Amino acid sequence: MGVETTYGERRGCVHILRANAAKFIILCAALIALAALLSGPAGAAQRRIIVLGDSLSAGFHLPEQDAFPAQLERFLKQGGLDVAVINAGVSGDTATAGLARLEWATGDGADLVIVELGANDMLRGVDPRETEKALEAIVVSLIKRKIGVLLAGMQAAPNLGADFAVRFNAIFPAIAKRHGLVLYPFFLEGVAAQPGLNLADGMHPNRDGVAVIAKRIMPYVLKALEQQTGQQK
């Protein structure tokens, strides 16, 4: 037997369906507009993003498809963007080590480089002045090559002392401000100190943790791509 509904109930259901449909249409329109803005005219080249980082972005103890570059690429493609995100992360790299391999790690044809370095400097207690010097050199080199930069920040562990934390944490916003970069303040935002989002070592994100990072950083990636596109015009 069917269930008879009143006129008021039917009217309420129609109202809900219309409201949800409107929200869906608005979301689709926003994604289409953003994709059109970043992809350019038909036949435009695929956007190439390189992640220059350490084990946090390289995918420490994770399958390649679960690492940050692969997950970020999937999310961006789901949003309608034609992108390739290349994993140029090396476990254990400091900012100075990243600088040393910058040229061959980024190669030619990159539209954007996500710079995710500094965590190992912090863990090893490297003088923040040395870390800043290396990150500054990386940024300057990329800008000279007309490559967009998204700077991913890091925060010092509390056991390193207040003085070190103040000096280290100030590195990333200072560099971003000097060069007008898009800054993602803390790469591990929403993941750090969350047992369910990290491997057993408590330091490296697991697959779910990486997904959180990739989703959170997406708006910053889109903003950096848009900024890079504007600078090329």
Domain boundaries, the chain: 1-41, 45-232
Element containing residue 91 per DSSP (H, E) = none
For residue 197 the two structure tokens come to 């989002």
Catalytic residue among 54, 55, 57, 93: 55
- What DSSP state is assigned to residue 198? B
Whether residue 201 lies in the annotated active site: yes
| CA atoms within 13 A of residue 141's CA, in its CB half-sphere | 20
Q: What is the C-alpha radius of gyration for the chain, rounded to an integer number of angstroms?
A: 21
In angstroms, the first-to-last Cα distance of the chain is 66
Whether residue 57 lies in the annotated active site: no
- What DSSP state is assigned to residue 158? G
Question: Where do the DSSP E strands lie in the chain?
Answer: 47-53, 83-89, 112-116, 148-152, 182-184
Task: Provide the residue-wise pLDDT of the chain in tens; the chain has 233 residues.
Answer: 443 444 344 344 434 334 444 444 444 444 444 544 444 444 467 999 999 999 999 999 999 999 999 999 999 999 999 999 999 999 999 999 999 999 999 999 999 999 999 999 999 999 999 999 999 999 999 999 999 999 999 999 999 999 999 999 999 999 999 999 999 999 999 999 999 999 999 999 999 999 999 999 999 999 999 999 877 66
The Cα 190–Cα 213 span in angstroms is: 8
Strands of the sheet containing 47-53, edge to edge, are 83-89, 47-53, 112-116, 148-152, 182-184
Whether residue 204 lies in the annotated active site: yes
The Cα 21–Cα 3 span in angstroms is: 25
Q: Please state which architecture CATH assigns to domain 45-232.
A: 3-Layer(aba) Sandwich (3.40)
